[in-house]
A and B are shown apart, each in its own frame.
Chain A
């Protein structure tokens, strides 16, 4: 299975901050990388697929980049509704695997 490593595991930030998460994979996956947001008590929600393609309805403050083994998710200006846990997932090979998540908390 492809191993996924997200960093940091948690971070404290304030509204308006620019926030960057990283995801590293144990092997080259091209651009087959997705990002999900999960709020407490809710199912995850797909934000970005193919490393950089924003899902319909996702605010433009979210952006993704990277290829190969190193990927980033950036929130350009953190909003109150963005405090959540973010997971990366590789979709290059079965089984698809997830990172352990990055939790964004209020500073």
Chain B
């Protein structure tokens, strides 16, 4: 059974960079047909797709975040990562790592990691 697990700091200061890693187990990240992505959810609010990465390193990014966003993949570690720069309180959210079909349907989700932006 495929499992995804987010890890990273739960507290980030304003203007700094949010960094999260997703570790995939129960399957290889080095696979055709699927992208590895990130979706966030501010507490008590709805879902926002952030972006996703293919095993070759190609990415889809949400244009609203693109200027601050880096999504990368490390197939040797079966991990992929999110970096979001210049964060503000508006970036406070639960961040989910996911497996999706090329920027579309999400079939697998991590349990989520709450990241709070505060000084």
Contact = CB atoms under 8 A, between A and B. Distances in A.
A and B, one complex?
Answer: yes
Interface of A: 1, 32, 34, 36, 42-46, 49, 87, 89, 91, 94-101
A91 B62 contact: no
Contacts, number: 50
Contact of A91 (B48, B104, B109, B110): B104
Nearest to A49: B105
5 closest A-B pairs (Cβ-Cβ)? A91-B104, A43-B109, A98-B47, A95-B62, A94-B103
Interface residues of B, number: 20
Secondary structure class of chain B's binding surface, majority of residues: loop
Contact of A96 (B49, B64, B111): B49
Contact of B111 (A43, A49, A89, A97): A43
Contacts of B107: 46
Contact of B104 (A1, A96, A100): A96
